């Protein structure tokens, strides 16, 4: 297999990994006001992803960096072309990341409410916009002969891409609910399970429509197969959620996200960004790629280090495998500031 | 202002801002790891309290470093797509490796460290903070290798067909002399910064007599770190100056506003004159110092801006190859000056707190309070100097900054992101500083009152 194809596959793996992992982080953030009835419950929700969300987000950075290294033209066109949506995603990720770290640092309801808003919006916007972005990548955008994006911001908000956005939003929210049912106990677990069933139905409709639209307009055998497999996994996940088989439900939503991402990438291949102006202006795995020498070095680095990373990230999940309940949440510790100021 | 100017302003603002948090993260993670090691080895509660106290401040800072780092990676493609196309074959590799080797290590093991206090055996938990710290160093190495390639491109060739630079020798990029010396200079500066941060906070408590058992050793450790790291900064900076003179002589000439080649060349501590240093009204000069810095010999010849401009026009064609001299001249001096000042305060601090003494001198306490800002300013001026001093190039001798920006991104779009990010960063700076002050003032946690019993249902030792 050519190295350009290998790297196209690796980029797909990185995005699939990112959506699989940060997908449930986003879902938890979106469901914060829905499932977190009081402060302690909200803290349970946040702490289910506390130790892992940052490591999950690195998948995005590596996907971006790998695209830069392996397909510089793709990276350049994508990031300069999707400028404003990416700016919104950046702002969202900044606010959300800081919010996790800072919301518990001051014992004030106003303080916590503001950071909660950052978590909710900061999770919801990327969950929606990544789907819009990938919808546009698959659909094709206005690229000129220099591979520069010459469309406008509003061109990106076409119905197909928006349905893609709703798909990632629905899938990630469902994924988050299923994750919470698996990682918590008591009331939150029950409610997350109930919610997963209702969200599951919505996700089946939206994601089904999106995948069907994708395959009907530009599908091939590989794309159809993977889309069908994703659909089966999704229905399986909803069925498992219905029967309260939480582990299986999570496996199902995880498989759905990975398979759906794979379906999009397989449908896209061998292009990486089709041009809607002229077929010949499209970016492909060949004309967007780095030199064979760079790809060879990057392949060695990936082969050696990816298993190590997967190993220690998996271990993290093992260390924090226990279900969380409100009993596990320590009370807010007031700062020993008053004690200090009496000394001074 | 056109899109290019705006993109340059944005790069400057968000990079300098990002580099407020980075050096504290790199230096403080190692210091916290050291303190925790001391606790694991000796069992003294003071070390544990110090670990938890500095660890908390470290995390408040770390969050900002992480989120502002995402922007760094995205903006090459967003604002500098022509640059990204041109150098991606070379520049992308260290960036991707940084993510795979360093970011995963940092973030995963830091997550384990934060939440793992009661979940991991003591020594395994200690290993997590060391691994996170190693991750921060690796990250510094790879990103500096990428930046050094822009300062001194090696291991590549120009493909005239595609008009792109192509990698031919990856080991050469990783062992670029510029990268090695810049790494030494930057990492020592990171320790100087973290030391100064510790010094300011410790001094605040020591002055008030709070928790002497934690903050007196804290202050002395911090002052030693500042001094030792400071020596490292100066030694590595000295080597770096010679490497730079060889590779980018124009930058050295612009650092001194040296228009005419001189042998020997003096160094002006400061000058009163015209803004670009062409006319001089008065200046304080140290004879032969610039020759010594640039060539290693007090009588060495240092090329001036005029000769270099003529030589560059011959090599690269007509154009202006002189960086903006007022900025290079003053940022170079301020970098050195603020670094040296932090060392001076640390030295006085060590002397006046020897054998349990506590100085009464109010000016000294005030200076200790300001110490944290000095390396932060020195770092910023250092980056401003080295990046502005490379102009008009984005990749020295190969690609001009004016040919690097995104051709289809308009001024309005760049202005939008510049304004949005600057306002957001400004607000977050206020929040972060407020939290740091709050938690720094609160002091170290009191010693734990007896052992918690082991039980699966007890509350977490740490939770968001």
Q: For residue A218, what are its two tokens? A: 């530009």
Residue A108's contacts (CB-CB under 8 Å, 6 or more residues apart) are: none
- Look up the domain containing A221 and give its range: 3-324
**Mean pLDDT for chain A?**
92
Which is nearest to A281 in space by CA: A149, A135, A138? A149
On whether both B96 and B57 belong to a single domain, the answer is: yes
Residue B371's contacts (CB-CB under 8 Å, 6 or more residues apart) are: B196, B199, B200, B203, B226, B342, B345, B346
Q: For residue A174, what are its two tokens? A: 């469902």
Query: How far is Cα of residue A245 from the mean position of the Cα atoms in its chain?
Result: 23
CB-CB neighbors (< 8 A) of B69 in chain A: 61
Q: For residue B25, what are its two tokens? A: 């993260």
On whether both B63 and B129 belong to a single domain, the answer is: yes
| Strands B156-159 and B164-167, sheet pairing | antiparallel
Give the integer Cα–Cα distance in Å for B297 and B290: 9
Q: What is the ipTM of this complex?
A: 0.92
Q: For residue A77, what are its two tokens? A: 């066109």
B115 interface with A at CB cutoff 8 Å: yes
CA atoms within 13 Å, Cβ hemisphere of A12: 24
Interface of B with A in 398-427 (CB under 8 A): 406-409, 413, 416-417, 420-421, 424
pLDDT at B143: 96
Give the integer Cα–Cα distance in Å for B258 and B194: 34
Q: Is residue A160 part of a domain?
A: yes
Mutate to test the interface with A, among B96, B171, B210, B213 (most CBs of A within 10 A): B96
Q: DSSP 3-state assignment of A38?
A: coil
On whether both B138 and B235 belong to a single domain, the answer is: yes
Interface of A with B in 183-202 (CB under 8 A): none
Give the integer Cα–Cα distance in Å for B155 and B151: 13
pLDDT at A336: 53
Task: Determine what percent of chain A falls in helix, strand and coil, rounding each to the nearest 5.
Answer: 80, 5, 20
- pLDDT of residue A343 exceeding 50, the answer is no
> CB atoms < 10 A from the CB of B399, how many?
19
On whether both B296 and B153 belong to a single domain, the answer is: no
Minimum-distance CB partner of A336 among B116, B442, B456? B442
Under a CB-based contact definition with an 8 Å cutoff, are residues A181 and A249 in contact? yes
pLDDT at A255: 97
Residue A311, min C-alpha distance to chain B (Å): 11
- pLDDT of residue A342 exceeding 80, the answer is no
Question: Which residues sit opposite B302 in a β-bridge?
Answer: B262
B96 interface with A at CB cutoff 8 Å: yes
**How many domains is chain A partitioned into structurally?**
1
A140 interface with B at CB cutoff 8 Å: no
- pLDDT of residue A341 exceeding 50, the answer is no
CB-CB neighbors (< 8 A) of B74 in chain A: 64, 79, 86, 90
Q: Is residue A337 part of a domain?
A: no
Interface of A with B in 312-341 (CB under 8 A): 312-313, 316, 319-320, 322, 327-331, 335-337, 340
pLDDT at B285: 87
Give the integer Cα–Cα distance in Å for A147 and A337: 58
Q: For residue B228, what are its two tokens? A: 């030792």
| Strands B164-167 and B267-273, sheet pairing | unpaired
- Look up the domain containing B23 and give its range: 3-247+388-442
| Strands B280-286 and B393-395, sheet pairing | unpaired
How does DSSP assign A143-165, residue by residue? B-TTS-B-S-TGGG--HHHHHHH
Cβ–Cβ pairs < 8 A, chains A and B: 268
B145 interface with A at CB cutoff 8 Å: no
Under a CB-based contact definition with an 8 Å cutoff, are residues A271 and A226 in contact? no
Q: Calculate Rg over the CA atoms of chain A.
A: 21
Minimum-distance CB partner of B420 among A47, A54, A87? A87
By the 10 Å C-beta count (0-12 exposed, 13-18 middle, 19+ buried), A342 is classed as exposed
Q: Is residue B370 part of a domain?
A: no
pLDDT at B358: 82
Interface of A with B in 69-128 (CB under 8 A): 69-73, 75-81, 83-84, 86-87, 90-91, 93-95, 97-98, 100-106
Residue A140's contacts (CB-CB under 8 Å, 6 or more residues apart) are: A273, A274, A275, A276, A282
- Sign, Cα dihedral of B188, B191, B195, B201: positive
Asked whether the beta carbons of residue B428 and residue A94 sit closer than 8 angstroms, the reply is yes
By the 10 Å C-beta count (0-12 exposed, 13-18 middle, 19+ buried), A314 is classed as exposed
3-state secondary structure B288-325: CHHHHHHHCCCCCCECCHHHHHHHHHHHHCCCCCCCCH
On whether both B224 and B272 belong to a single domain, the answer is: no
- Sign, Cα dihedral of B52, A342, B198, B437: positive
pLDDT at B114: 93
Under a CB-based contact definition with an 8 Å cutoff, are residues A88 and A302 in contact? no
Asked whether the beta carbons of residue B67 and residue A94 sit closer than 8 angstroms, the reply is yes
pLDDT at A329: 87
**How many domains is chain B partitioned into structurally?**
2
A246 interface with B at CB cutoff 8 Å: no
pLDDT band at A33 (very low <50, low <70, confident <90, very high): very high
Digitized pLDDT (tens) for each residue of chain B, 464 residues in all: 899 999 999 999 999 999 999 999 999 999 999 999 999 999 999 999 999 999 999 999 999 999 999 999 999 999 999 999 999 999 999 999 999 999 999 999 999 999 999 889 999 999 999 999 999 999 999 999 999 999 999 999 999 888 899 999 999 999 999 999 999 999 999 999 999 999 999 999 998 888 888 899 999 999 999 999 999 999 999 999 999 999 999 999 999 888 999 888 889 888 887 777 778 788 888 888 999 889 888 889 999 999 999 999 999 999 999 999 999 999 999 999 999 999 999 999 999 888 888 888 888 899 999 999 999 999 999 999 999 999 999 999 999 999 999 999 999 999 999 999 999 999 999 999 999 999 999 988 887 665 555 555 667 777 78
On whether both B259 and B138 belong to a single domain, the answer is: no
pLDDT at A332: 78
Q: Is residue A329 part of a domain?
A: no
On whether both B7 and B150 belong to a single domain, the answer is: yes
- pLDDT of residue A339 exceeding 50, the answer is no
Residue A32's contacts (CB-CB under 8 Å, 6 or more residues apart) are: A42, A45, A46, A116, A119, A120, A123
pLDDT at B454: 53
Q: Is residue A343 part of a domain?
A: no
- Sign, Cα dihedral of A15, A17, A22, A27: positive
Q: Is residue B461 part of a domain?
A: no
B443 interface with A at CB cutoff 8 Å: yes
pLDDT tens for residues A264-323? Answer: 999 999 999 999 999 999 999 999 999 999 999 999 999 999 999 999 999 999 999 999
CB-CB neighbors (< 8 A) of A53 in chain B: 111
pLDDT tens for residues A106-165? Answer: 988 899 999 999 999 999 999 999 999 999 999 999 999 999 999 999 999 999 999 999
Verify cis geometry, omega within 30 degrees of 0, for the bond prior to A270: yes
Average of per-residue pLDDT across A15-44:
95
Q: Is residue B447 part of a domain?
A: no
CATH number of the domain bearing residue A293: 1.20.1630.10
On whether both B189 and B291 belong to a single domain, the answer is: no
Q: Is residue A340 part of a domain?
A: no
Q: Is residue B458 part of a domain?
A: no
């Amino acid at each position: 297999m050519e190295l350009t194809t290998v790297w196209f596959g690796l980029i797909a793996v990185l995005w699939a990994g990112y959506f699989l992992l940060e997908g449930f982080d986003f879902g938890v953030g979106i469901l914060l006001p829905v499932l977190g009835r009081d402060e302690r419950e909200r803290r349970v929700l946040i702490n289910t992803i506390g130790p892992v969300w940052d490591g999950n987000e690195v998948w995005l950075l590596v996907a971006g960096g790998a695209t830069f290294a392996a397909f510089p033209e793709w990276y350049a066109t994508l990031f300069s072309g999707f400028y404003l949506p990416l700016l919104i995603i950046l702002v969202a990720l900044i606010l959300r990341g800081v919010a996790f770290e800072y919301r518990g640092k001051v014992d004030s309801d106003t303080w916590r409410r503001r950071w909660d808003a950052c978590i909710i919006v900061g999770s919801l916007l990327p969950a929606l916009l990544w789907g819009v972005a990938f919808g546009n990548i698959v659909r094709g955008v206005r690229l000129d002969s220099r591979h520069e994006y010459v469309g406008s911001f509003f061109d990106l908000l076409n119905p197909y891409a928006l349905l893609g956005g709703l798909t990632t939003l629905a899938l990630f929210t469902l994924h988050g609910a299923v994750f919470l049912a698996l990682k918590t106990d008591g009331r939150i677990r029950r409610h997350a399970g109930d919610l997963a069933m209702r969200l599951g139905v919505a996700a089946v409709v939206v994601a089904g429509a999106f995948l069907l639209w994708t395959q009907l307009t530009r599908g091939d055998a590989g794309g159809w197969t993977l889309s069908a497999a994703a659909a089966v996994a999704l229905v399986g996940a909803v069925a498992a959620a219905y029967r309260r088989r939480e582990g299986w439900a999570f496996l199902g939503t995880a498989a759905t996200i990975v398979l759906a991402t794979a379906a999009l990438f397989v449908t896209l291949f061998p292009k990486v960004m089709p041009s809607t102006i002229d077929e010949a202006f499209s970016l492909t795995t060949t004309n967007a790629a780095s030199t064979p020498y760079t790809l060879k070095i990057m392949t060695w680095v990936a082969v050696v280090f990816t298993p190590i990373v997967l190993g220690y990230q998996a271990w993290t999940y093992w260390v924090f495998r226990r279900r969380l309940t409100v009993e596990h949440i320590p009370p807010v510790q007031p700062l020993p500031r008053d004690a200090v100021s009496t000394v001074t | 202002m056109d899109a290019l100017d705006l993109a340059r302003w944005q790069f400057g603002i968000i990079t300098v801002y990002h580099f407020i948090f980075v050096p504290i993260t790199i230096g403080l993670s190692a210091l916290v790891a050291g303190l925790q090691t001391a606790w694991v080895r000796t069992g003294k509660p003071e070390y544990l309290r110090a670990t938890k106290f500095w660890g908390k401040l470290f995390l408040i800072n770390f969050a900002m470093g992480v989120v502002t780092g995402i922007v760094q990676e995205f903006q090459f493609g967003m604002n500098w797509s022509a640059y990204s196309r041109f150098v991606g074959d070379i520049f992308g590799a260290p960036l991707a490796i940084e993510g795979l080797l360093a970011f995963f290590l940092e973030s995963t093991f830091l997550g384990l460290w934060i939440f793992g206090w009661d979940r991991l055996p003591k020594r395994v938990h200690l290993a997590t903070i060391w691994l996170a710290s190693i991750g921060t160093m690796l990250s510094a190495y790879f990103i500096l290798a990428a930046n050094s390639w822009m300062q001194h491109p090696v291991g590549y060739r120009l493909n005239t067909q595609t008009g792109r630079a192509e990698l031919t020798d990856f080991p050469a990029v990783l062992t670029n002399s510029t990268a090695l010396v810049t790494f030494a200079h930057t990492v020592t500066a990171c320790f100087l910064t973290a030391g100064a941060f510790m010094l300011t906070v410790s001094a605040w408590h020591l002055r008030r007599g709070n928790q002497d058992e934690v903050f007196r050793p804290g202050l002395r450790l911090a002052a030693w770190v500042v001094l030792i790291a400071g020596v490292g900064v100066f030694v590595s900076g000295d080597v770096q100056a010679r490497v730079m003179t060889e590779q980018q002589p124009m930058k050295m000439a612009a650092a001194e506003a040296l228009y005419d080649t001189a042998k020997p060349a003096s160094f002006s501590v400061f000058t009163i004159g015209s803004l670009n240093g062409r006319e001089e009204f008065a200046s304080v000069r140290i004879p032969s110092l610039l020759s010594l810095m640039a060539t290693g010999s007090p009588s060495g010849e240092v090329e001036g801006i005029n000769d270099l401009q003529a030589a560059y026009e011959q090599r690269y064609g007509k154009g202006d190859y002189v960086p903006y001299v007022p900025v290079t001249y003053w940022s170079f001096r301020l970098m050195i000056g603020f670094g040296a000042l932090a060392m001076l305060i640390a030295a006085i601090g060590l002397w006046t707190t020897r054998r349990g003494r506590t100085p009464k001198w109010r000016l000294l306490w005030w200076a200790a309070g300001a110490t944290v800002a000095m390396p932060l300013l020195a770092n910023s001026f250092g980056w401003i100097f080295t990046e502005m001093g490379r102009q008009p190039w984005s990749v020295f001798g190969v690609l001009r900054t004016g040919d690097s920006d995104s051709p289809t991104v308009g001024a309005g779009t760049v202005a939008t992101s510049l304004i949005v990010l600057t306002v957001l960063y400004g607000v977050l700076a206020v929040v972060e500083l407020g939290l740091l002050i709050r938690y720094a003032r609160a002091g170290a946690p009191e010693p734990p009152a007896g052992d918690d019993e082991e039980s699966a249902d007890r509350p977490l030792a740490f939770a968001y």
